[in-house]
Chains A and B, each alone.
Chain A
Amino acid sequence: MPTPLERLLTALSHKEADRIPILPVLLQHGAKELNVDLEKYFTNGEMLAEGQTRLIEKYEYDAVIGVPHVVEDLLAFGQKLVYFPNGAPVLGGMAISRFHEIDKLVVKDPGDVPELRETLKAIELLAKRYKGTVPILGAGIAPFSLPSMFIGTEKWLQLLFDDEEMRKQYLIRFLEVSMEFCVKWMNRQLDAGADTVVLADGMASATILLRKQFQKWAMPLIKATIARINGPVVYEGVGSLGDFADLLPELGAAAAIFDRYDNLAEIKPVLAGKVTIVGNINNIALIDWTPEQIEEEVKKVCEAAKKGGGFILANQGPEIPYDVPDENIRAFVEAGKKWGKQ
């Protein structure tokens, strides 16, 4: 039987293994396994690694993830996090409120942020355990989306679409700051032992942008960013990417994560042999679907995308919510094993 890493590499080289790789994005359930609260879990590298270990041993899927959530990236921009008992933390506020403040924004080195150091520690520990047998994933927010988190989504859109004067003056600055941080942070994770990193780019998805806007603003930036990252990248739309599918091979990403509005059967021929498709089970519906419904959904996407390799079964979006019960995670993985046979 191939190892999870072999399975993943086979999928990425657009060939068939014994079955497709299965990747439920479980960032929070490890805390349940360890019986600790999420804040403690998220900020402790040993716990993160231990949580990932217990989860993969319990369900037997195909990758571990060293990152607790991507909101932590903003700690490097001086932002504070507010933790919750049952979900990812949120920002305590924005880092800047006016465009010109970008010039004053001090961006810390990831190594100088305690929480980010713990993430690196988690990746190192996972690498010690799993390097060469189970793929280890890192993640971060892509440069086009980062500004929405340090100045707010509305202001960011205002800068992109509304305010030409300001755009001329500041857009490049925003993107530069974001790209420098992103490249550095992703490379640190790779150095720590990650095999691949996921770039979350919600603001660039087809949920938000027109195709021509994606081509004009987001694409050059993504390409340049990926070119500077020293390992394979999984590009995550967070939202929909279907309308941009034919553009994705240009990005240089090994794989892309789609959302549930994206029609994988249509996308498959466009990306076959070029970019591996990841997705796209409705993560929010996993909360109250029955195991039978989950099997039905998994079967559908497997049938749409598994043929010839180049497909990884995963949920849409950046995580499986905390409230998704264990039996539904089990149903997801088992259905993947059954319907993902190749």
Chain B
Amino acid sequence: MVKFSHVTRKYGNTVAVKDLNLKIAGNEFVVLIGPSGCGKTTTLKMVNRLINPTSGTIEVMGKNIQDLNPVTLRREIGYVIQQVGLFPNMTIAENIGVVPHLLGWDKNKSRKRAAALLTMVGMDPETYMDRYPTELSGGQQQRIGVLRALAADPPLILMDEPFGALDPITRETLQDEFKRLQTELHKTIIFVTHDIDEALKLADRIVIMRAGEVVQDATPEELLRHPADDFVAAFLGKDRLSNQELQVAQVMLENPVKAYPEMGMAEGLALMKRKKVDTVLITDHGGRFLGSVSVDEVNAKHRSFNTLGEIVDQDTPAIEKTAAAKDAFNRINEEKLPYLPVIDEKGLLVGIVTRNNMVNALASVVWGDHNGSS
């Protein structure tokens, strides 16, 4: 789909990209990553000729792009930038319809396309089509930025740190959404970022760059197992650590109120009352987590059932103790859970994370009295 052969780009004495050789296959999701100034943006912009190489050739879909009209070429390649750049003088539908308009689609067709794309990311077309960009949140704006690149259904999409300006939670939502889109749309994507977690999450293949050169070109798996050198290891390590700093096991409460399935209804009620909780977690005699019973359930069903085991809610969500504390926090927030039981790799109940102790854990991280955190 895209092939760089001996591509070099200089700015005066600065070599932004040095003798780059890179082949990107159809439907591949390639992430370019590296420290600021290493030549990622320059590499990306040479593909749609916003920047021309000093030497070397680039082929897109088998054609040397130097032989193509840049304007025509760009209309066939989606382009998403960090600053979004939605035109403030155009409505959302018009923004999504820019490339279709340039390609001469009629207005109806391009509005229909905009509506279909909005629906695809869960934004109601009726509500959003005729709004202006300033009336949308940052996350919504970048969603439109992505849809705009998809509008004319280009086979290749270039993205330059598209989620870099978003807050962490919105960023993650958009990453997940985009990952899902990609599995449906099968585009070839070249994606620039400096966030290694983002790269590991999205990429089929990661190209690590330093000072204009490729240091390693590998799948996320290979990269984690066999970093090419100390630079790569440091690059992977630093960010890895900061995110794995806090695991669920470090923030959970270790003695949740629990009971065996044979416990009688009245006894269960008394237990909850004594411990001042409104839910009790149920395990078997080996400690394996079975589910939960709430005080409301007991009150509602104590006439027709005898033991807690008969009314246990087996779909109670739980989280593994090695998961990132951040994930527990996100799930509690997003799924509006009052608590999350914590299990180990064998499914044994080892603790519980509640809204309250999550907040306390976060507070201690923020104010620095959690040992081991920086």
A and B together in one complex: no
Which residues of chain B have a CB within 8 Å of any CB of chain A?
none
On A, residues with C-beta under 8 Å from B are: none
